A and B are shown apart, each in its own frame.
Chain A
């Protein structure tokens, strides 16, 4: 009887293990990308609250228009600042190598580098919609139970993502994805030099764009840990986004309504 129990336990463990192995690291990233964002074009309103030294400091509001490129499977984003008032109307086009910044005061579009895209809060809109599977090669580090942003334990796959294309914003990403649900729980983003730049927690999973998705992110600046930002998805809706919107000369024409 004891032997039979052991055999059954062993078989069960083996079957569970093989089920986990059946999911390759890349498939896990694809699945969790789909949890974060749908493949249809959509718009969202991101409300950002910035904390300095633990105190609430600034509020930003961004309108983000996102559309997946059918060729690269990567999201292309158009970001418009709505708040704060001093930045109202500024727009950023983030489309692979095509990165442009438009300032309605100077009325010119300036091409920016991948490094420059990380300056300012528009970079957060970019982080939250990036399809990691498109630009990174994932490997499975192991299975870990870590606490989520609400300090609830989650059994996660711990993945290591290496940039596989030159449009990848970060050189390396560590990623924790909950087993079973494929909910993205946590990410760590590194620079080319291996420096930890940002720590990301995703939380507040709720119905958004037809599925249960994270509706809020906490982004910690790992370079200056006194800085943290929460990003909350406001009204999200599917919206047709014509290809012409991703032309530099369309930036002054962008209408958020």
Chain B
């Protein structure tokens, strides 16, 4: 055998050994299949889908402990609660009455106790009727809905300028995470028509006024079994919105919203950038007075302010074009998969630095029972009730990590910072999915900042919550 022949034979032998090793390695992957999963499963029956494709029912127990502090501006009574125990039954379901007609329901029954709630009283049992409506698919892709509907809009996370029906709708949230606030809110009684086709969609909604306005609720004056249309249907409201699919998922949405003789315009844009980033912009604009002026008008018309109460702050009563904007991006890391949202929020009607100075100046010597304190906190509660930032500019950062450190542990944290004074609100939530049916979790909330700042002047310094959830 020649040298060349020897080399060739050796090469072939080595390549066979290498190939055999590779195949051996490939078959080693089979060892990663759990023994319990080695036998093929029988295909499952489809019965549960036919029975309840969208039903969600759960019982949750939540215990909250809060830490209060003596704020720089006295808070009118009632003071915030220090502890609250809450057991809630949350139900969402849908029933088909025929091939084209369905009924939807979503609601929450609460049993509550707390240091600011009388026991026993009607405050211990409340029911939130979030949705109850009928849907009819009049033609393929054309829908008509009537009833109490949660109509939401917006691509942003921390602040939704185009979510026009969010005002006054949030009830007793378990968490102040804006994502959770969207879940704990009342729908609006309305007639909605929608057409969805291959190239876009068009939605028109009319919400009639069926109740007169009411003062801003606190957690100790909620009705027991009342749909609270005074919060959602105190005025006639109209919405028209449409989106068009321009390809590759780019679907800009334009909105027009009308109430109280004013029309606001809005737009939503969301676009993927590369594999890991989604950038988004949400804007609305239209004639509007300042937050201070609107809040005073509201307080005088609906309470708690006397009808002729003079304003303690200089305000801008004139209606002008005022913009609301949320611009941000979501970024998901490769490994581990953590999604970060960073967002700039702008509310032109909100407080400027001068407004804050005036607010603290006016409240310097106010007592909790003085009309001045009542008026100053009405301004801030009004913004909270409308789900809009008090300050003009805020930054919102949120992170979500599924299977954090260990499987089935989900961590969510956010920081909402007032860019005028650097104060903010931070919250960390942990949910552990014990099984398909059980979840336990908790959250820690901290309001930080100087005493003369947006979040630093809040009466609550922080809170912790523990919860256990049983799904059915």
Q: Could you list which residues of chain A lie within 8 angstroms of chain B, going by C-beta atoms?
A: 45, 47, 49, 51-52, 54-59, 61, 63, 80, 82-86, 88-89, 95-100, 104-108, 110-116, 118-120, 142, 144-147, 149-151, 166, 176, 186, 191-193, 195, 199, 201, 203-204, 215-216, 218, 220, 223-228, 230, 232-235, 242-244, 246-250, 253, 255-257
A-B pairs with the 3 shortest C-beta distances? A98-B249, A243-B198, A85-B471
Nearest neighbor of A110 in chain B, beta-carbon distance? B155
- 17 interchain pairs (CB within 8 A)? A51-B37, A82-B49, A84-B436, A85-B56, A88-B54, A105-B183, A111-B249, A111-B271, A112-B330, A119-B332, A147-B30, A220-B29, A223-B335, A233-B43, A234-B44, A242-B140, A248-B243
B292 lies within 8 A of chain A by Cβ? no
Residue from A80, A85, A99, A243 within 8 A of B437 (CB atoms): A85
B41 lies within 8 A of chain A by Cβ? yes
User: Which chain B residues lie closer than 8 Å to A218 at the CB level?
Assistant: 33, 37
**Closest Cβ of chain B: how far from A104's Cβ, in Å?**
6
Chain A CB count within 10 A is highest, among B19, B40, B42, for B40
| Cross-chain contact B44 with A45 (CB below 8 angstroms) | yes
Q: Could you list which residues of chain B lie within 8 angstroms of chain A, going by C-beta atoms?
A: 19, 22-23, 26-27, 29-30, 32-38, 40-46, 48-50, 52-58, 92, 96, 102, 140-141, 143, 150, 152-155, 179, 182-183, 194, 196-198, 200-201, 203, 243, 245, 248-249, 251, 270-272, 274-278, 280, 330-335, 337, 339, 402, 407-408, 433, 435-437, 439, 469, 471-472
User: Which chain B residues lie closer than 8 Å to A191 at the CB level?
Assistant: 334-335
| Cross-chain contact B276 with A114 (CB below 8 angstroms) | yes
| Cross-chain contact B49 with A97 (CB below 8 angstroms) | no
| Cross-chain contact A186 with B407 (CB below 8 angstroms) | no
**Closest Cβ of chain A: how far from B24's Cβ, in Å?**
10
User: Which chain B residues lie closer than 8 Å to A51 at the CB level?
Assistant: 34, 36-37
Nearest neighbor of A230 in chain B, beta-carbon distance? B37
User: Which chain A residues lie closer than 8 Å to B197 at the CB level?
Assistant: 243-244, 247
Chain A CB count within 10 A is highest, among B43, B143, B155, for B43
Q: In the complex, given contacts A108-B182, A116-B278, A248-B201, what are 7 additional A-B residue pairs having Cβ atoms less than 8 angstroms apart? A: A106-B179, A115-B337, A146-B26, A242-B198, A244-B196, A248-B243, A255-B102
Distance between Cα atoms of A45 and B43 in the complex (Å): 9
Distance between Cα atoms of A80 and B200 in the complex (Å): 21
Nearest neighbor of A84 in chain B, beta-carbon distance? B436
| Cross-chain contact B49 with A61 (CB below 8 angstroms) | yes
User: Which chain B residues lie closer than 8 Å to A104 at the CB level?
Assistant: 54, 56, 92
Distance between Cα atoms of A61 and B58 in the complex (Å): 18
| Cross-chain contact B46 with A96 (CB below 8 angstroms) | no
**Closest Cβ of chain A: how far from B267's Cβ, in Å?**
15
Residue from B43, B52, B143 within 8 A of A235 (CB atoms): B43
A195-B335, A242-B140, A247-B197 as given contacts; A113 in contact with B34, CB under 8 Å:
no
| Cross-chain contact B49 with A257 (CB below 8 angstroms) | yes
